[in-house]
Amino acid sequence: MKTDKTDIELIQEFQDGNEESFNALVERHLSNTYGFFVKICQNEMDAEDLAQDVFLKMHRALKKFRFESAFTTYLFRANRNMANSYIRNKWWRGLLNLEDTPEKGEWDTSHETDWRKQELWNAVAKLPKLQRNVVMMRIAQELPFKEISAILNTTESSAKTSYHYAVKTLKIWLENE
Amino acid sequence: MNDFETKLKQAMQTENSVPDADAFISDLHSERKNRQSARRQFYNGIVAGMLILSFGLFTVSQLGTNPAELIVYDSFEIMSEEDRIEEEFLREMAVYYLEESDDIWDTYALLNDSELFNEKWENQ
């Protein structure tokens, strides 16, 4: 299913009723989308579910896509929204003790790294929305600030400042725990 | 700050294998079809419910009156019709007795003895 066509061409073909073009688009962006969600979720099954949800939304939304922005920007926005709702949901579940979190005394050292990742994402979830989005895209997706600012509809300097404050806040929160 | 950023990035590092694209796409389309059919069933359910509701409202409006009221009204009608027949029967019997007998008190006594007459007066 590998193709040399651009995203725009594939979307146009999909809009004309070619389902194979949509499949080619999924195949092209699956690795990046899935990788992003794995970093956010720390769980491959959840990541696959989130990636599936994103592409399901794309299947409906692309029929009305107006080519005002690049497809990757559109996809990153969808990923960001999905990740935000996942983090918020996870944070609430943690708050309501719905997650199976071990007691501090029962920590298994073999899972220490995973546990720290969880701690880190809990802290990210508490950041203000803009800072959280910048951190997610910068750390989990390793996007340049220029692209982040385009996705978030903000200036590059604002994205950089938000990132700077977010990292500073995370440093205080995580090192004081 | 840079050290902390590096730590953050390292904490995020994951070794993951990308799922098989063909299997993923196939699952994606079957999930899409499932959701589509669930959505269609939901809308059909709503339409069916609306139809039943509107049919029910239409039927009640055609009756014109609350069915409960109709039943009560009908039972009164039946009772008053029975009373009318009873009264007519008593009146005819009284006239018959008056014609057949010379004494009005004998007629009264006969009527008084009749079960129907007593029931009528007791009810009133």
Is residue B13 situated within a structural domain?
A: no
Give the pLDDT confidence of B107-123 residue by residue, as tens digits: 777 667 766 556 655 55
Residue B83, CB-side half-sphere exposure with 13 Å CA sphere? 10
Shared-domain flag, residues B27 and B82 = no
Residue-averaged pLDDT of chain B: 76
Contacts with B16 (C-beta within 8 Å, 6 or more apart), sequence order: A34, A35, A38, A44, A47
How many domains, in total, are found in chain B? 2
State the smallest CA–CA distance between residue B42 and chain A in angstroms. 18
A171: closest CA of chain B, how far (Å): 7
Average pLDDT for consecutive 10-residue bins of chain B (124 residues)? Answer: 75 74 92 92 92 86 62 60 78 77 72 63 57
Closest CA to A26 of A17, A37, A38, A14: A14
Same domain, B53 and B102: no
For residue A171, the enclosing domain spans 110-177
Kindly list the residues from chain B whose CB atom is less than 8 angstroms away from the CB atom of residue A167: 1, 4-5, 8
Asked whether residue B90 falls in the same domain as residue B51, the answer is no
Integer Cα distance of B18 and A48 in angstroms: 9
Residue A18's pLDDT band (cuts 50, 70, 90) = very high
Contact across the interface for A48 and B35, Cβ inside 8 Å: no
What is each CA distance from A61 to A41, A58, A133, B99, in whole angstroms?
24, 5, 22, 100
Alpha-carbon torsion, ordered A150, A153, A159, A163, to 10 deg: -100
Dump pLDDT digits (tens) for A88-131: 887 777 766 655 554 444 434 444 555 566 777 778 888 888 89
* Residue B3 belongs to a domain: no
Tokens 């950089």 — which residue?
Answer: A160
Range name among A69-73, A146-150, B54-58, B81-85 with the lowest pLDDT average: B81-85
pTM above 0.90, yes or no: no
CA pair distance A96, A90, nearest whole angstrom: 10
The answer, yes or no, to whether ipTM is higher than 0.85 is no
Whether B82 is in a domain gets the answer: yes
CATH number of the domain encompassing residue A28: 1.10.1740.10
Interface of B with A in 19-48 (CB under 8 A): 19, 21-22, 24-25, 27-28, 31-32, 35
